[in-house]
Chain A
Amino acid sequence: MNDRVQSPGERVTRTNPLAHVFDELSRFCRSRSLFILHYCTGCGAIELPPAMTSRFDMERLGIQPMVTPRQADILLVTGYVSVKTLKRILLTYEQMAAPKYVIGICSCTVNGGMYWQSYATAKVLKAYLPVDLYIAGCMPRPEAVITGMRALMDDIAAGRAESWKRYYTHYDHYLGNQQALFGENWQTPTDVLAEARHYGLLGERSEGEHTALLERHQQPLEPLTMRLRAPAGGEEKA
């Protein structure tokens, strides 16, 4: 649908004398309230239930699971990422609302891990989208997951976890890697450059040869047609 991104860009000059107080407050609240979207791709997902339930209880840190990308703050990629899965991860990531964070759990997201020789996996997650934090291990224990989460919380509170901006400022780099994997026809429904422009994050490395390639191959998005199948004997209607 015709989604419209509303929040004011950074170009707006701030006149409110309390702006810094609000910034501080919102950073603090962001760090204390993290909605995670699991993208349970690999075996690492199995360590999340214990991290969430009675033994380790993530909710006491304000971390809770959410079910759609619109609601979530953290994208949790838990394990090896196959090429097919990576497309879904990117679609999900681009739909999430900024500020958003990506955590790669498991060694497989760091460097391919034990799937290094596989023809079907994307080895290095951070080549395709900015990753805030890796939690290595095969698989990392719940303690490690929670330690990682706490590190992310500290980063957010201190204003260091800003990798979502990197996706806009270095879009050409990420898109290039995506195209190398998916072929030059690769496109997503999100107009990343327009969003970058909106946030005032369009830098000299946002555009380049890869975005030019994308523009050449881009098909306009069309709404899905809904087909109703009439009962047997009838004709198919569009």
Chain B
Amino acid sequence: MRLGFELVMMPLLAFVIGLLMVLLLRRIGARLQRRVGPPFLQPLYDVVKLYAKRTQVSHGLIHEIGIVMAVGGYVATETLLPVPGMNGLADKGGVITLAYMMMVPSLGLALGVGQCANPNGSIGIARALTAMLAYDIPFMLVIFGAAWVYGTTDLSEIIALQQHGAWGVERMPLLALAGLMTLPALMGKQPFEIYVAPAEIATGPMVEMGGKFLGGLFVMQAFQLYTLGVLYATLFLGGGENWPLFLVKIFAVVSIPMTIAWLYPRYRTEDMLSAMWRWPLLTALLGIAMVMI
């Protein structure tokens, strides 16, 4: 009963907080450009409007399943992420399952875009999967290192360990740094958003998406920001003792890459690969060496 309640509540909360993070992203961008920025409920208006469009152009079954996978993958991910007062499936899943779950949306998107048969979409997906190759290696190393230090892959246990001792960021500063460096790529923000590139390939994977399909992707983005913020806070910032502190932590985590994002143009694919496989990867390897010795 209690578990069922949590399984419903966790994605719902994630959705609401995720929309707020999208708002934060757009407000930060606006402030950096000395604009006012969108009103408070703007992300919600966008999603509702997209779902309320009269024309919904579907390119076939796989297109629809792809979007369901993209959103569903994140809904499943949220149930594996402990938040204050709710553990969901965190103790059964662990961080490895979580890392796998986080790949499902990208693969779903690839499937869905494939059926749209738009060359821009295919280029976008090819780039997105290359980007995944680029960031997943340092990301996996960071997760591996953290799990090694805590001696467990259970996220709720990781939080408990940090709340009775030192935070992860004190015990493994280099790994925390590497994680922070990988975050912009995980979020698909500048300088690593070559697969969206609106002026070049017309938003890549999103090119054929309209109406509820684009709405689904907006929801997915909200979930994505939330997931990354919570995962980072859980691994390195002691997770959430209570809701206010937890919210402060996750919003602080996501606002760092977002602030950096608006200051950069974008890297080409090969530059992204070499950037990802050089600095975050080296930092992560050094970090692992430090904690193992």
Taking beta carbons and an 8 Å cutoff, which residues of A are in contact with B? 1-7, 22, 25-26, 28-30, 32-33, 53-54, 57, 59-60, 62, 67-68, 70-71, 73, 96-99, 199
**B54 close to A (CB within 8 Å):** yes
CB atoms of A4 and B214 under 8 A apart: no
CB atoms of B58 and A98 under 8 A apart: no
CB atoms of B48 and A25 under 8 A apart: yes
State the Cβ distance, A135 to closest chain B Cβ, in Å.
22
A73 CB contacts on chain B under 8 angstroms = 49
Supply 7 further A-B pairs (C-beta < 8 A) apart from A67-B198, A68-B203. Answer: A3-B58, A26-B49, A33-B42, A33-B45, A60-B38, A71-B214, A99-B54
Residues 39-57 of B at the A interface (beta carbon under 8 Å): 39, 41-42, 44-46, 48-49, 52-57
CB atoms of A26 and B52 under 8 A apart: yes
Which 8 residue pairs are nearest across A and B when measured between Cβ atoms? A26-B52, A70-B210, A97-B55, A29-B48, A33-B45, A57-B35, A33-B49, A54-B34
A30 CB contacts on chain B under 8 angstroms = 49, 52
CB atoms of B39 and A53 under 8 A apart: no
The secondary-structure label for the interface of chain A is loop
CB atoms of B206 and A71 under 8 A apart: yes
Q: A7-B53, A7-B56 are in contact. Are A60 and B45 (CB under 8 A)?
A: no
B34 CB contacts on chain A under 8 angstroms = 54
Choose from B37, B55, B58, B59 the contact partner of A60 (Cβ within 8 Å): B37
A6 CB contacts on chain B under 8 angstroms = 55-58
Q: A7-B55, A99-B53 are in contact. Are A32 and B42 (CB under 8 A)?
A: yes
State the Cβ distance, A89 to closest chain B Cβ, in Å.
17
The secondary-structure label for the interface of chain B is loop
Of the listed residues B48, B54, B198, the one surrounded by the most CB atoms of chain A closer than 10 A to its CB is B54
CB atoms of A1 and B207 under 8 A apart: no
Cα-based distance from A183 to B117 in the complex (angstroms): 31
Chain B interface size, under 10 / 10 to 19 / 20 to 34 / 35 or more: 35 or more
Total cross-chain contacts (CB, 8 A): 108
Taking beta carbons and an 8 Å cutoff, which residues of B are in contact with A? 26, 30, 33-39, 41-42, 44-46, 48-49, 52-60, 116-117, 198-199, 202-203, 206-211, 214
A71 CB contacts on chain B under 8 angstroms = 203, 206, 209-210, 214
Q: A32-B45, A33-B45 are in contact. Are A5 and B57 (CB under 8 A)?
A: yes
Q: A29-B45, A33-B45, A54-B35 are in contact. Are A7 and B30 (CB under 8 A)?
A: no
State the Cβ distance, B114 to closest chain A Cβ, in Å.
12
Of the listed residues A2, A54, A67, A73, the one surrounded by the most CB atoms of chain B closer than 10 A to its CB is A67
CB atoms of A67 and B52 under 8 A apart: no
Cα-based distance from A71 to B218 in the complex (angstroms): 12
Choose from A26, A99, A199 the contact partner of B48 (Cβ within 8 Å): A26
Cα-based distance from A199 to B55 in the complex (angstroms): 9
CB atoms of B59 and A59 under 8 A apart: no
Cα-based distance from A2 to B60 in the complex (angstroms): 8
State the Cβ distance, A119 to closest chain B Cβ, in Å.
33
Residue of A nearest to B30 (CB): A59
B58 CB contacts on chain A under 8 angstroms = 3-4, 6
State the Cβ distance, A162 to closest chain B Cβ, in Å.
11
CB atoms of A98 and B54 under 8 A apart: yes
CB atoms of A1 and B45 under 8 A apart: no
Instruction: List 25 contacting pairs A-B, 8 Å CB cutoff, sorted by A.
Output: A4-B57, A5-B56, A5-B57, A6-B58, A7-B56, A25-B52, A26-B48, A29-B46, A29-B52, A32-B49, A54-B33, A57-B35, A62-B39, A67-B198, A67-B199, A67-B202, A68-B203, A68-B208, A70-B214, A71-B203, A71-B209, A96-B55, A97-B55, A97-B56, A99-B54
Choose from A3, A26, A32, A62 the contact partner of B57 (Cβ within 8 Å): A3
CB atoms of A29 and B55 under 8 A apart: no
CB atoms of A53 and B52 under 8 A apart: no
Cα-based distance from A96 to B10 in the complex (angstroms): 36
Cα-based distance from A199 to B54 in the complex (angstroms): 9
Cα-based distance from A204 to B53 in the complex (angstroms): 26
State the Cβ distance, B25 to closest chain A Cβ, in Å.
12
